[in-house]
Structure 1
């Protein structure tokens, strides 16, 4: 096998330089929030049920903290994918989030300021020389309030090398019996019932102890249908909904068969189907197994930004409406493949009193498949109310 190289020399000129900000063309709607939690498999009444939300802390529907990424024009990847790496492809490597207090509601207008941060090149068993590139997404509302910062990591690699090295050979979806599927639905409901039981109540900092384990959260089995539902919940995938930045995918190094016209404002007015990443362009490997194989993936696979959302929702649902995630750092080890399930667990590892963020619970979170293959790990700090 020929030793592969990865030319990242063009990236230096882009670091630290802001790129076109992202903004939806119209204010957010409650149904945008409802669509999001439905797609993320997060049935928290606070985010979709009008009557329940009206009785709660905010008096109306409020978006989950994970929803900020839905207000971007590329699920946070934009500032982590600048500059040309010839003949490359991209998958998500992780997200670090900081939240500053303001919540997102229907009627808000969110703008994302995007700034490339840094990159490094490491040798991997997946594709040989691999670029780990990071970029910041700074989300503000219409009042100028700083809602959140998302520091995304993109993994950029030689598509040819990934296919040649064969770290992920094509494979078939696992088969689940009716009894197994019924058991999975029961396991899913255990987490949902935990949210129902907490309701509008408070989970107090004093009542949580180091060593406590959070209720298990199960998602799946994943399918092309579920991944498509996720994709459609990202608002930038809707025709005409976003001020498009006009990204040139070929100029960034994507091979011609994958480059397409995703996020192309000119083509969107001429033939919008060509601008839709679900069918053409670099994102179609998610929904079409043939194209997944062409970038070194074993089957159709899910979105890294969705995995980050699952983690934030998992912790947010446990914290309840009086708690909130203040920081989360997640590393993605492997995608959600069709046929697999995702099992999420977390353990309390510390209790902190912080001058800026109050009383915090630190947790370590893990996301695995039914075969115990690690999909992601995360460390997060969650603010909870106190009895004092």
Structure 2
């Protein structure tokens, strides 16, 4: 058998250098925030119910969830983690590491993002042989120059022909849920929603939390092609004419995965070929036939959305007086169409910082209905005394 190889020689010229900007053309609108939490299945009234929000500690303008930052980029944070030509390649999301610095995003804000490729390494994997794990940083700032967050994303770049060759063709069928199971799922989903309602505007204080405490279980799904499409359409970058577009760079996508996705000049000619839903590397999420061309058995979810689910899960538990200051989510596999995602977490430590601040450490996981873990993570959540 011919030795499998992956040519990453072009990547070095990008490392540590700021990429061309690609920014939203308008300020954040209230309905941008509402569209986002609806697509991310996060019914926290703080982010969509103006009356409830005005009674919160934020008041006034509608506040966005912390996960909203990734909508202010033209590649949901992946851009600096997939720059450079790797011939005959494709990309999956491998994880997101977040640092949040305090300022929140509100309706009316203008957000700026600086993207800098960080590093990469090639490893041999059972998924696709030689695989490039590439990392890049996105730094989100307010119009006033306040740093909101830093996102370090991991892109998994591989040769899809190798992945198809090495993967089994089994499990192409989606799980079929009975009517009774669907009713039971709605009850389980409402348990987390009820926990949000029960906390309301109250303060989840540092003193009220114990090591070993279990966070309420959060269930979303079943994931479907319509639900995945709804998620995709909530990213600002997928809206026609919503952002300044950087010049296209050859990345090495192959066959049906190649296209003019996010190409600003072609967007003026035929935008349906540029918004990622129908043509180009993102089409594998929504079309099973294209998913199978890159080693996936069926339609599958977006890694960036999975990271948002985790951030929302943690922030919802923390409440409006709490704050996720750090979160590192590592993706082990996608959320496939037909599956559900079950989020669980627990408090592993309580820390009083030298500056007097109080925070708790949390570990969490995301799994499907069979208990297969699709993501794990750890987070630091700041709570008031």
TM-score bucket of the superposed structures, by smaller chain: over 0.9
Structure 1 residue ranges (4+ consecutive) displaced by more than 6 angstroms after TM superposition: none
1:182: which partner in 2?
183
Displacement after TM superposition at 1:173 (Å): 0.4
Q: Gaps spanning 5+ residues in structure 2: where?
A: none
* CA deviation map 1:122-177 (0-9, x unaligned): 11110001000000000001111100000000000001000011156451001111
- Residue in 2 that maps onto 1:57: 57
Aligned to 1:257: 256
Relative to the length of structure 1, the TM-score reads 0.97
Correspondence for 1:139:
140
> How far did residue 271 of structure 1 move?
0.8
Residue correspondence of structure 1 range 91-170 to structure 2 within 5 A: 91-167=92-168, 169=170
Superposed displacement of residue 256, structure 1: 3.9
Deviation at 1:112, TM superposition (A): 0.7
**Secondary structure in structure 1 of the residue aligned to 2:22:** strand
Where does residue 33 of structure 2 map in the other structure? Answer: 33
- Return the offset for 1:257: 2.4
How far apart in 2 are the matches of 1:70 and 1:276? 14
Q: Distance in 1 between matches of 2:168 and 2:10?
A: 28
Counterparts of 1:269-348 in structure 2 under 5 Å?
269-348=268-347
Q: Quick one: structure 1 residues 282 and 215, their matched pair in 2 at CA, closer, same or farther if it must change by over 3 Å?
A: same
C-alpha displacement of 1:120:
0.6
Alignment partners' CA distance in 2, 1:73 and 1:356: 37
Deviation track 1:100-135 (CA, whole Å, cap 9, x = no partner) reads 000000000111100000001111110001000000
| Aligned 8 A contact 2:201 2:320 in 1 | yes
- Identify if the C-alpha distance between structure 1 residues 357 and 116 changes in structure 2 by more than 3 Å, giving closer, same or farther: farther
Residue in 1 aligned with 2:364? 365
Q: What SS class does the counterpart of residue 291 from structure 1 fall into?
A: helix
How many residues align structurally?
384
What is the distance in 2 between the residues matched to 1:223 and 1:246?
33
**Structure 1 contact 325–380 (Cα < 8 Å) conserved:** yes
Give the CA deviation at 1:357.
Answer: 8.2
1:306 Cα deviation after fit = 0.3
Structure 1 runs not aligned, ≥5 long: none
Partner in structure 1 of residue 198 of structure 2: 197
1:170, 1:297 within 8 Å by CA — same for their partners in 2? Answer: no
Asked if 1 retains the 8 angstrom alpha-carbon contact of 2:72 and 2:236, the reply is yes
Give the match for residue 19 of structure 2. 19
Root mean square deviation of aligned Cα: 1.1
| Inter-partner Cα distance in structure 2 for 1:292 and 1:58 | 42
